Amino acid sequence: DIQMTQSPSSVSASIGDRVTITCRASQDIGSWLAWLQHKAGKGPKLLILTASSLQSGVPSRFSGSGSGTDFTLTISSLQPEDFATYYCQQTSNFPQTFGQGTKLEIK
């Protein structure tokens, strides 16, 4: 199975800050990577697919980059609604696997 390693596991930031989350795959997954946002009591929300494509309706302050084994999610200017847990997910092979999550908290 492909292992997905996210860092950091948690981050504290302020409104307006720029935040970067990284994800590393244990083998080459090309661009078959998604980033999702998850808030308590809700279903996850797809932000980015194919490593860098913004899902329809997602604000442009979210961006993704990378290919192969190393990927990055950047939030350019944090808004109050962005405080949540973020996951990377590979869809290159079954079983699909997620990173362990990054909890983004208010400083």
Partner 1 sequence: EVQLLESGGTLVQPGGSLRLSCAVSGLTFSAYAMTWVRQAPGKGLEWVSTITSRHGGDTFYADSVRGRFTISRDNSQNTLYLQMNSLRAEDTGFYYCATTIIRYFADNWGQGTLVTVSS
By the criterion CB under 8 A, which residues form the site for partner 1?
1, 32, 34, 36, 38, 41-46, 49-50, 55, 87, 89, 91-92, 94-101
CA distance 14 to 27: 34
Residue 15 CB, nearest distance to partner 1 (Å)? 26
Measured from the CB atom, is 42 or 107 closer to partner 1? 42
Rounded to the nearest whole angstrom, what is the least distance from the CB of residue 60 to partner 1 in the complex? Answer: 18
The CA-CA-CA angle for residues 1, 8, 87, to 5°, reads: 50
- The Cα–Cα gap between 86 and 84 comes to 7
